[in-house]
Structure 1
Amino acid sequence: MRVIPVTQPFPWATMLDYLAVRCTPCLEGVEGGEYQRHGRAVVRLAEEGLAVEGEHAPVARLFDCACPVNEVKRVLGRDPLLKARLKRLPGVRVPGCWDPFELAVRAILGQQVSVRGAHTLMRRLNERCPEFTPAQVAECDLRSIGLTNSRTATIRALAESGIDFTGEWAEVAGQLLSIRGIGPWTVSYLGMRVGRDPDSFPQSDLGLLHAFGTRDPKELLRAAERWRPFRAYAAMLLWMTPQEADIP
């Protein structure tokens, strides 16, 4: 067993709740207060940090263990809109992922559908692609899980693209945007969770607009200037306050 230190405070239960309905259903899950990557790792909260049995390399980025909590609080706490939310969710994190390709597919499935709807589609896809490799997804009959022709084409193009998600994020983002059906919202969301960009911000997100109280993405983007360089953390705070269906 290995223990990974985390900056404090650390909202373990909130992280698990967020990941529980956004995981790759047949490959990972949350149960009994633990995160499980089936057959590969079990992560639980320990007094010293996160106790990991099995593979540990992806865990630190998955749970944003090194989040600069005090700096985030100092910057975002100056804004009255976020100050109260920070009190409700101290130590807010931006969750990462175990596998970037899986999350990219999940983000595409989540376009214009509810969180639970995307989770259902992800489960159907994972049942047909148990290893969930790009090659397996590319060969899958994606229409059989209830996808439109356009969504099918986007996921297949992603699977066949050969994108290396470990490269420089600016380059990865450019490659993603070259795929029809992947736009700024998807890339910004993945920038938060895959690119680990603390300032990535999907300003057109309906949940963020609702939480901020506007329908104008430009107005939200102007307001978000005061949240730099931690706009991704501001997004998480805003997402955690509305109804679950508004959180991507």
Structure 2
Amino acid sequence: MEIHDSGLYAAFKAKDNRFDGRFFVGISSTGIYCRPICKAKQAKEENCTFFQSAAEAEQAGFRPCLLCRPELAPGKSVADANVNLSYRAAKLLEETCTYKLSIQELAEQLGYTDRHLRRVFTAEYNVSPVQYLQTCRLHLAKQLLTDTNLTVLEIAMAAGFGSLRRFNAVFKEQYRLTPTQLRKKVITKPTVDEITLSLSYRPPYRWNEILTFLKSRAIEGVEAVIDDKYMRTVRLKNIKNEKIEGWIKVSHNEEKESLNLTVSHSLLSVLPQVLARTKKMFDIYCNPEIIYQALKPMNKIIKDSCVLGTRLPGCFDSFEMSVRAILGQLITVKAAGTIAARIAKTYGHEIQTGINGLTHTFPSSEDIIALENIEESFGVLGVTSAKSRTILQLAELVQTAELNLDFCVNPETEMKKLLAITGIGNWTAQYIAMRAMEWTDSFLETDAGVKKALSGYSAKEMLSIAEEWRPWRSYAVINLWQTL
């Protein structure tokens, strides 16, 4: 999208939700910036300046609109990013905004120099990574001030400001209001032992389909789908390297075109991680119109196979999902789920959630490595010796950071590392890349479901057909599965 395209004002005037989060509008007559779907009185075109990101609008001196709330806009999708590195960097900044990591440390996680990261990031977002990071913190704080009754101190810590004094100073400098003054302008929710935040998406969103997918693969004790809500246990490390446990619930608010994320209060210190992982799991950043237009040729092969709004189910815990994928080799989805549940109950951490069915967190790579003899430990649970050794190799690579499942800029490089693990073949590597690495171009030509959907075609013919679906073949796979 060319940011200076004269059609942007037309999209703003039409309140076109396809552009929500893809650009922001600064209004010179008011000094505020809005989402393109804002329902405030329409500004004149000569008073509008268009920005590629909220951070760029704030650096230009504009304050966020209190009506459309730019902090709720869906983020950029990989389809909008000219450079994959900048997209991955932005998501890493969002998830680690409470950590005191330098840009050099962030760049090293992504496998590049800090100089190159700054250059690419600034070219894509028109702000530096540090400026983008500050906006991430401010937006999280603003959402918590508006939607919860957490204390201002709790919010300052949760958003990564380090101190109340620093939070007040930055907030007032950027928004011309103190946090307390902003809170007086909104009606906050009653105090409870949980936090509920909205995650906006670009409609349409096929909620029932993604929920069905996750339900069929849920690990008993760790995950549950009840009353159209997805729930799971959570165990993460905070900035002090302490293990924090809790739970989340995700439900659909179709009227507001958003998902509601409810988080136990115990997860406040790792809230940015929880938000980022949930957005990834439910493919919040997806731009469905772009993907649909690219995959429409599928309908010539299988009628109505490509449906607008289909999401690519990600995962909350990449290691957990990868173990689940290894367990699922050559057995049914249900059988793999049964074994995964045994592993969680035996070697996971018991947790009190107050939610029926959520009793354990899944063991981490660290927990797996700590087992004295994984073949014996897993063998009694129904895992073959070969799969046990594969899981151990995976855990060791993840623990030493030799394998990057979450923020890899080049998924194909990480897939080669997966393929080097004894017991991981092309299907498993492609599946892990698709769900853990947000790799949009996986294709599973040997998958039983794909072969059934494309019955009559050989593997070679399926690969040839799928060439037309690049770089969205992962979405094509999901669409094919959903035809069955």
Relative to the length of structure 1, the TM-score reads: 0.91
| Number of residue pairs the alignment of both structures matches | 240
Residue of structure 2 equivalent to 1:73: 292
- Letter matched to residue 25 of structure 1: E
Change (3 A) 1:29 1:145: same
Residue of structure 2 equivalent to 1:171: 413
Contact 2:217/2:337 (8 A) holds in 1:
yes
Change (3 A) 1:221 1:117: same
Greater length-normalized contact order (CA 8 Å, ≥ 6 residues apart): 1
Distance 2:275 2:219 in 1: 18
Distance 1:60 1:227 in 2: 24
Residue of structure 2 equivalent to 1:246: none
Residue of structure 2 equivalent to 1:128: 346
Distance 2:437 2:343 in 1: 24
Q: CA RMSD in A?
A: 1.6
1:153 aligned onto 2:389: yes
- Once the two structures are TM-superposed, the CA of residue 118 in structure 1 deviates from its matched residue by 0.8
Give secondary structure in 2 for the equivalent of 1:51.
strand
Change (3 A) 1:112 1:230: same
Distance 2:297 2:385 in 1: 46
Residue of structure 2 equivalent to 1:33: 228
Gapped regions of structure 1 (runs ≥ 5): 243-248
Contact 1:24/1:102 (8 A) holds in 2:
no
1:200 aligned onto 2:442: yes
Distance 1:137 1:82 in 2: 43
- Letter matched to residue 388 of structure 2: T
Residue of structure 2 equivalent to 1:245: none
Distance 1:3 1:167 in 2: 24
Contact 1:134/1:160 (8 A) holds in 2:
yes
Give secondary structure in 2 for the equivalent of 1:58.
helix
Residue of structure 1 equivalent to 2:309: 91
Residue of structure 2 equivalent to 1:219: 461
Give secondary structure in 2 for the equivalent of 1:84.
coil
- Once the two structures are TM-superposed, the CA of residue 209 in structure 1 deviates from its matched residue by 1.4
1:43 aligned onto 2:43: no
Percent same amino acid among aligned pairs? 32
Relative to the length of structure 2, the TM-score reads: 0.48
Change (3 A) 1:84 1:205: same
Contact 2:219/2:338 (8 A) holds in 1:
no
**Structure showing greater Rg:** 2
1:104 aligned onto 2:340: no
- Once the two structures are TM-superposed, the CA of residue 215 in structure 1 deviates from its matched residue by 5.8
Q: Structure 1 runs of 4+ off > 3 angstroms?
A: none
Change (3 A) 1:41 1:165: same
- Letter matched to residue 452 of structure 2: H
